[in-house]
Amino acid sequence: MNRQIHMVDVGTQYRNMKSEIDQAIIDVVESGQFINGPKVKEFQVDLEKFLDVKHVIPCANGTDALQIALMALGLKPGDEVIVPAFTYVATAEVIALLQLTPVMVDVDPNTFNLTAEIFEKAITPKTKAVVPVHLFGQCSDMEPIMDVAKKHNVYVVEDNAQAIGADYTFADGRTQKSGTIGDIGTTSFYPSKNLGAYGDAGAIFTNNDELAAKLRMIANHGQGQRYHHEMIGCNSRLDSIQAAILGVKLKYLKNYSAARQAAAAFYDQAFAEEEWMQTPTRQHNSTHVFHQYTLIIKDGHRDALKAHLSAAGIPFGVFYPLPLYDQEAFKHFVPDDLDLPVTEMLCKSVISLPIHTEMDEEILNHISGVVKGMFKTA
């Protein structure tokens, strides 16, 4: 195949809606309202409707969103925050930055997510918050997690950077969007995320009016009224041009998720007979929006598959090659007896194949053909 294959194809995606995006950008430039203009408010309201959540607080990026969320909870230095060790660094970084103590825990080997059991076992009298990460596009099992959190009086901040648009179904049949179930949810609109801007951007969600007021204030230098600063905050704004772009793309998010799900279903079927890998597990009570299509490669063959894909010019990702507790920056937070075998196994055996909104049969056939040829080449 002589077409270039991308992990994420934002170029083709743009060309498919070029006139709308171009117009949205021109409108902002002509309005001259680059910061907190009407486009930011418009996107905020559209996203509140889409998520069916009371408050969306736009901000500068997904890491800030997590930091502001934790700042709003009024925690004290040394308070413990439980976080899965198999995640992007940002989730734990903000905890450490705020002088809170990240308590790293393991994840479920099939969903890659935190479970209520793992969470409950890690609770101590110092535990004040937990940050479930909806990794690769599927919700953590939020109903039992919320039950445990309520029982022990622990705040829940959902890191929804990878799962925007996923639906979680409660035992009574009610559904809610990922990121709107905990006390606070956060997301990132980094360009390669499922709803990606053309630069940095992020948002915070909550159904709690009091927390919303505080989050809004913290994101804006701790001021309610202009030049009256009630608390220490930061400067974390969503820029109007990014908001205008996100407003256009939000209309397509359902289609984007469907395109990712179709590509995942194609891979699943192509790999159904391959005993040397495990395809992504679907949880019965969450839809999967496939931020990543991540395989577990058995018997230590992961690195051979990397070489095989590279030789064929097919990009891939390893999310994540190192557990948080093996990162130099976090060594002070790792107890001597920490043993997280699932995280350890996943870091050695996961690989993510290209998945995006612009995949077609030719590309999917080619990639899956190469993967399946792994043990067939002489």
Ligand X SMILES: *Cc1c(COP(=O)(O)O)cnc(C)c1O
Binding test (CB under 6 A) with ligand X, winner from 116, 161, 215, 353: 161
Nearer residue to ligand X within complex by CB, 88 or 119: 88
Q: How far is the CB of 61 from ligand X (least distance, A)?
A: 4
Helices 253-270 and 361-372: angle between axes, nearest 10 degrees: 30
- Span 278-337, contacts to ligand X by CB under 6 A: none
Nearer residue to ligand X within complex by CB, 202 or 354: 202
Nearer residue to ligand X within complex by CB, 160 or 240: 160
Nearer residue to ligand X within complex by CB, 63 or 140: 63
Residue 61 as a binder of ligand X (CB under 6 A): the answer is: yes
- Span 90-149, contacts to ligand X by CB under 6 A: 90-91, 133
Specify whether the CB–CB gap between 161 and 193 falls below 8 A.
Answer: yes
Piece of 36-44, 58-66, 217-225, 337-345 that binds ligand X (CB under 6 A)? 58-66
Q: How far apart are CA 24 and CA 44, in angstroms?
A: 16
The DSSP 8-state label assigned to residue 279 in this structure reads P
Instruction: Enumerate the β-bridge partners of residue 288.
Output: 138
* Region at 195 (left for phi over 0; alpha for psi -120 to 50; beta for the rest): beta
Piece of 88-96, 139-147, 297-305, 353-361 that binds ligand X (CB under 6 A)? 88-96
Q: How far apart are CA 136 and CA 229, in angstroms?
A: 38
- For residue 260, what are its two tokens? 């990712």
The DSSP 8-state label assigned to residue 330 in this structure reads G
Specify whether the CB–CB gap between 240 and 36 falls below 8 A.
Answer: yes
Question: How many residues belong to the site for ligand X (CB under 6 A)?
Answer: 15
Q: Vertex 204, ends 199 and 205: CA angle to 5°?
A: 135
What's the one-letter identity of residue 43?
A: F
| C-alpha closest to that of 55 among 179, 161, 218 | 179
Piece of 19-27, 82-90, 136-144, 310-318 that binds ligand X (CB under 6 A)? 82-90
- Span 162-221, contacts to ligand X by CB under 6 A: 162, 188, 190, 200, 202
Nearer residue to ligand X within complex by CB, 238 or 364: 238
Q: What is the DSSP pairing of strand 155-159 with strand 184-188?
A: parallel
Nearer residue to ligand X within complex by CB, 203 or 314: 203
Chain residue whose CB lies nearest ligand X: 62
Residue 159 as a binder of ligand X (CB under 6 A): the answer is: yes
Q: How far is the CB of 66 from ligand X (least distance, A)?
A: 6
Q: How far is the CB of 178 from ligand X (least distance, A)?
A: 12
Specify whether the CB–CB gap between 146 and 181 falls below 8 A.
Answer: yes
Binding test (CB under 6 A) with ligand X, winner from 13, 44, 63, 206: 63
Helices 90-97 and 62-72: angle between axes, nearest 10 degrees: 40
Binding test (CB under 6 A) with ligand X, winner from 62, 102, 132, 182: 62
Q: How far is the CB of 144 from ligand X (least distance, A)?
A: 21
Q: How far is the CB of 82 from ligand X (least distance, A)?
A: 15
- For residue 117, what are its two tokens? 């059991």
| C-alpha closest to that of 90 among 72, 66, 114 | 66
What's the one-letter identity of residue 153?
A: N
Q: How far apart are CA 207 and CA 182, in angstroms?
A: 9
Nearer residue to ligand X within complex by CB, 62 or 179: 62
- Positions that interact with ligand X (CB under 6 A): 61-63, 87-88, 90-91, 133, 159, 161-162, 188, 190, 200, 202
